[in-house]
Structure 1
Amino acid sequence: MPRTHAGWFRLVAIAEAFSWVGLLAAMAFKYGLGMPAGVTVMGWIHGAIFTAYVVTCLVVFSPFRWRFWVLVLALVASVPPLATVWFERWANRRGLLTESDSEDPTFWGKVRYAFRELN
C-alpha cells in the first residue's frame, strides 16, 4: 500500500483510468453484442473509483500546495478516458507531486483556522 500522498494519488489515478477502459469495454459488449450486465457492474466500479479520485484530488492538493488551476485541471482530467494518467505524468514531470517544506499553512490548515475562529 502507498505510504505517501503521491503514491495514493498515482494509485487512484491509474485505477480510474483502468476503470474507464473497463467501462468502455463493457459498453462495447452492451451495444455490440447485446450483453448489458457488464455496464451495470463496471458502471458501479467506475463510479466508485471516480469518486475516490475526486476525493483524493481534494485531499492531496493542499499538501502538494497546488494552485487552484492545477486542482481544476486534475478534476477535469477525470472526465475524458485515460486523462488521469496523463495528468499524473504531467504533474510528476513538473514536480507537482512532491510535498513542500514550507512553513506556511496549507489550504486545509487555513480552512481549519477559519472554522476555529468562527466558533
Structure 2
Amino acid sequence: MINIFKIVSFLEGISYILLLFIASPIKYIYENETYVKMLGMPHGILFIGYIALAVLLKVELKWTNKEFAKVCLLAIIPFGTFFVGKYLTKKED
C-alpha cells in the first residue's frame, strides 16, 4: 500500500501544481475556465485518495499524530507531496 501512496502523492502534487500555476492564471488572465474545469475534478479525486490512503497508512504503520499531521499538511503546500515519498523511504530504512 505504501507504493500506491507514493504514486498517488506524486500525481496529486502534479495535479496541484498544474491547477495552481497553469490553470488558475489562465482562468484569471484570459478569462478561460476550461483548464480549471478539466484539472479540478482529477485533482479533487487524487486529494481525497491521498487523505484516505494516509488514514489507512497511519493505522498500518502506527504513525504518531504528529507524523500524520505532517503528511496531511504536505498535501496543501505546493510541491509538498513530492517530499512525502522521500519521507516514507527514510522511515522504511
| TM-score normalized with structure 1 length | 0.70
**What is the aligned-residue RMSD (CA, Å)?**
1.5
* Residues in 1 aligned to 2:57 and 2:66: alpha-carbon distance in whole angstroms: 14
Greater RCO (Cα-Cα under 8 Å, separation 6 or more) = 2
Within-5 A mapping of 1:61-100: 61-95=58-92
Contact 2:8 2:49 in 1 (8 A): yes
Contact 2:12-2:50 at 8 Å conserved across structures: yes
Query: Counterparts of 1:77 and 1:90 in 2: how far apart (Å)?
Result: 11
1:11 is aligned, of 7, 12, 15, to: 7
Q: Give the letter for the 1:37 counterpart.
A: T
**Residue identity matched to 2:6:** R
Contact 2:6 2:84 in 1 (8 A): no
What is the Cα deviation at residue 10 of structure 1?
A: 0.4
- Percent sequence identity over aligned pairs: 20
User: What's the counterpart of residue 20 of structure 1?
Assistant: 16
- TM-score, length of structure 2 as denominator length: 0.88
Alignment partner of 1:42 is 2:39? yes
1:12 positional shift? 0.8
Aligned residues: 92
Matches within 5 A, 1:92-111: 92-95=89-92
Give me the whole-angstrom Cα distance separating, in 1, the residues matched to 2:2 and 2:73: 19
| Unmatched runs of 5 consecutive residues or more in structure 2 | none
Distance 1:94 1:56 in 2: 17
CA distance, structure 1, for counterparts of residue 77 and residue 3 of structure 2: 22
